[in-house]
Amino acid sequence: MTTQELIAQIKQKKSFLCIGLDVDLNKIPQHLLKEEDPIFAFNKAIIDATHHLCVAYKPNTAFYEAYGIKGWQSLEKTIQYLNTNYPEIYTIADAKRGDIGNTSTMYAKAFLEDLAFDSVTVAPYMGKDSVEPFLAFKNKHTIMLALTSNEGAFDFQTKEVNGRELYKEVLETSKGWKNSENLMYVVGATKAEYFTEIRKIVPNSFLLVPGVGAQGGNLQDVCKYGLSENIGLLINSSRGIIYASKDENFAQNAALKAEELQQEMATILAQ
């Protein structure tokens, strides 16, 4: 999916909501455990109930890898279901991969070719030659960690290097990499005060923003400082939507939570 196609979908749906499909078998409704594939059954119900309210889905691959081959098969079925039934939806493999040379190429092939995700998250700690192999795929995006929402982000990301915070160095340096127009960046919603500085460096890049909802991020603050001319934001909510209820009508309750965010986004876009 191209960036322009993503922007068109955002404008059509009046939403820049991304729903995280982080499936924990201990948290899903108990009746689904009787299904042949409980993870896929859960995802399918959530997707069918919320697809008109969001523009992207983001499975965190750890929640599938933890269940071995069955979990990986659930992930494969989920992305195939999305690509077949809702091809307009932008898909993100939240895998946070990052390695050098051929290894990164193989990671990229796994997620962008075999599973056919539109994008994959990567960690930039190993630098240029660990990220550029992901950027080589046409009409695919690489979403690079920039400034995350966890407590440990302050261990390295905001430390000064040559008088400048490290996350700023990461952003600036990445702009010079081959096919950098295919880059997006992860910026945590709990770091809303940093968005002004980030936009000075990457004014038009899309930012994937986790942390709204269960982690305490504020949508209004993120949009105040983070919206760009082409919208430029994908706001992710996972637990706050998919685990809204453990009852039989869990998907409908998830849709209600998603609609709350979508309506707030529609209001912001209309301003």
Max Cα–Cα distance, the chain, nearest Å? 57
Query: Is the Cα torsion angle 51, 55, 60, 65 positive or negative in sign?
Result: positive
Q: What is the CA radius of gyration of the chain?
A: 18
Catalytic-residue membership of 96: yes
C-alpha to C-alpha distance for 54 and 135, rounded to whole angstroms: 25
Neighbours of 209 (CB within 10 A): 28
Q: Tell me if residue 185 falls in helix, strand or coil.
A: strand
Q: Are 16 and 10 in contact (CB under 8 A)?
A: yes
* Burial class for 77, CB neighbours closer than 10 Å (0-12, 13-18, 19+): middle
Q: Classify 80 as helix, strand or coil.
A: helix
169 sits in the region (left: phi over 0; alpha: psi -120 to 50; else beta) called alpha
Place of tokens 């455990």: 33
Catalytic residue among 96, 200, 224, 246: 96
Q: Angle 43-47-50 (CA atoms, 0-180°, nearest 5)?
A: 135
Residues catalogued as catalytic? 96
